[in-house]
Amino acid sequence: MLFEDVAKAFDEIEGKSGRLEMTDLLARIFEKASPEEAERIAYITQGELRPPYDGIDLGLGEKFAIEAIRKASGYPKSTVEKEFEKEGDLGVVAEKLFSEKKQQSLFRKSLSVLSVYNSMFKISRATGSGSQTMKINRLVELYNNATPLEARYVTRFVLGQLRLGVGDPTILDALSVSHTGDKSLREEIERAYNLCSDIGYVARLFIEDPKKMKEFKIEVFKPIMPALAERLPTPKEIIAKLGKCAVEYKYDGFRIAIHKKGNRVEIYSRRLEKMTHMFPDVVEGVQKLKPKEVIFEGEALAFNEDEKRFYSFQETMHRRRKYGLKEASGKYPLHVFAFDLHYLEGEDCTQLPYLDRRKKLESFLPTGVIKLSRMRIVSTPKELDSLFQNALTMRLEGIMAKDLKAKYTAGKRKFAWIKLKKSYGKEMDTIDAVIVGYYRGKGSRAKFGFGGILVAVYNDETSRFETIAKVGSGFTEEEMEKFQKMLDEDKVKRPPSNLDYAMEPDFWVHPKYVVEVAYDNITRSPTHTCGKEEGKGLALRFPRMVRIRDDKGPFNSTTTKEVEEIFRFS
């Protein structure tokens, strides 16, 4: 398949904001693709080359792209830079300059999807001395054979700025539509995806034979999409929803999935990034476990032996950043509280009810640094509340109530897990929101150049972001500087194509950073678009910045549905 077909589809997708139209355009591409091509197209559409846990980064900065455009177009560097200043998008600059190209290549070969992918993959792999020159040369080679439209997308891709606004759900729908003309296979495809978190692998298997979705099995070293928790405001409502249920402590650390096969151990974050090297102490503990093949999940927390208390999420993160790993492991020993089991000695446990999974987990835990989350079965709101109060006195975040019969709901927010956190009702309510824009500093803040952020939540039914607050307070001076620098790098000219907004910030940024925002209550307001009804969305009143959630990606932010629930209950 020609890369030009993909570039044309991307161009059309960019002009659309409707999910249905995007799905159809992508489906038409998948219809024509071979399994290998489908795999590459699925990755490229996401702006990736491999699934997130492979940690492949193209590693090309703007400077290098400018150099490659200069070389391939024959224009001087100053022209490329001037155009960049004007357009704010090197993709558009490449397209423009190549359509007015001075040096016409005599032997232009049409680019295929596979050859473009291979070149980009090689660019990503090049390391060592001379690798930058090699990266530039490969890019020049691509440009020499590219049409102007292809050059636009190749450029954006290598810079990590493709930003089509096509989320995983659209790709999954498009695969189904490519085969049946409708979304009837979406659920099966999504199941496979949630069990391996590898969109390209799923696309390849599906195009090979759609039956492979139903037969799809968990594999060690392919992380599973984490199950998500709903929230309810009181013990009474939790018991009304679940009846007799399990209650576990909710530890405020970072979530990890642990994979073991023989002596090999890998640890993945909630965002599915490989974090094994950060946890030598945990790896050692896992190697000593009895099972030969196992995948389980837990929360990692640092424990202060002197004070006999757990460190908060922030202190635990600090441990990773500030100290050398070795020193940190000794000074702040990590404990993992295992809370779920996905796979054991060849058996897919995600299909078992919670209580069976827990029993199997208890068959080989606790040992050493790998503990078990504390769990009790309760039947009344009073019992549940007393565990909740216990958790708070231990300085934990709250509790997780779990449906005794529920399967593991990979990648889904179902009422299998319900969280009750200390902030609800009493102290501080917070949501996790995505930064989509920011403001210039005025008055006393002018010296920081930073005046706050515009944040949004994710609507997982429409796959769009919807704004919910302008956050101007809660930042220390240090944070203002940090945000300014961080967001300046991600500034974009146009509002993100998958964002619904009513107010405009001074600068737009691509949805990427998640922040925890505290607020007093939620009201209806015409200035925001979250859960909009009759021209008014939901908005946070008195929003305050709490912290950056760098363990969460934009699609793991609080959802519109959750905000609607909180609004309804408050």
Report, as residue numbers or ranges, the catalytic residues: 250
Using rule CB under 6 A, residue 518 touches ligand AMP: no
Gyration radius (Cα) of the chain, Å: 25
User: What is the spatial distance between Cα 465 and Cα 127, in angstroms, rounded to a whole number?
Assistant: 37
Half-sphere exposure of 489 toward its Cβ, with a 13 Å CA cutoff? 11
Q: Which one of 50, 191, 241, 255 is in contact with ligand AMP (CB under 6 A)?
A: 255
**Considering the complex, what minimum distance in angstroms separates the CB of residue 456 from ligand AMP?**
17
Q: What is the pattern of x (binds ligand AMP, CB under 6 A) and - over residues 188-227?
A: ----------------------------------------
**Pick 353 or 449: Cβ nearer ligand AMP:** 353
Q: Least separation, in Å, of the C-beta of 407 and ligand AMP?
A: 15
| Rounded Cα gap, residues 391 and 372, in angstroms | 15
CA dist 152 and 150 (Å) reads 5
DSSP 312: P
Query: 9 or 420: whose CB is closer to ligand AMP?
Result: 420
Contact partners, residue 542, CB within 8 Å, separation at least 6: 519, 520
Q: For helices 113-125 and 35-45, what crossing angle results, to 10°?
A: 60
> Nearest to residue 142, comparing CAs of 77, 65, 76?
65
Q: Which is nearer to ligand AMP, 229 or 344 (CB)?
A: 229
Nearest approach in angstroms of CB 430 to ligand AMP is 9
With H, G, I as helix, E, B as strand and everything else as coil, classify residue 516: strand
Decide if residue 419 touches ligand AMP (CB under 6 A).
Answer: yes
**Distance in angstroms (rounded) separating the CA atoms of residues 456 and 446:** 25
Query: Residue with the closest Cβ to ligand AMP?
Result: 255
Q: Using an 8 Å Cβ cutoff, are 181 and 56 in contact?
A: no
Evaluate whether 406 touches 418 at the Cβ level (below 8 Å).
Answer: no
Residue closer to ligand AMP (CB basis): 283 or 514: 514
User: Per CB under 6 A, does 412 bind ligand AMP?
Assistant: no
Cβ contact 49:38 at 8 Å? no
- Can residue 73 be called a binding residue for ligand AMP (CB under 6 A)? no
Going 320 to 288 to 247 to 242, the CA torsion angle's sign is positive
- Does position 250 interact with ligand AMP (CB under 6 A)? The reply is yes
69: closest CA among 90, 44, 100, 85?
90
Residue 310 binds ligand AMP (CB under 6 A):
no
Contact window for ligand AMP (CB under 6 A) among 100-108, 212-220, 246-254, 446-454: 246-254
Q: Is 299 in the site for ligand AMP (CB under 6 A)?
A: yes
Of these, 10, 75, 339, 519, which contacts ligand AMP (CB under 6 A)? 339
| One residue of 9, 29, 120, 229 binding ligand AMP per CB under 6 A | 229
**Between 146 and 334, whose beta carbon lies closer to ligand AMP?**
334
Binding site for ligand AMP (CB under 6 A): 229, 248-251, 255, 270, 299, 339, 373, 400, 419
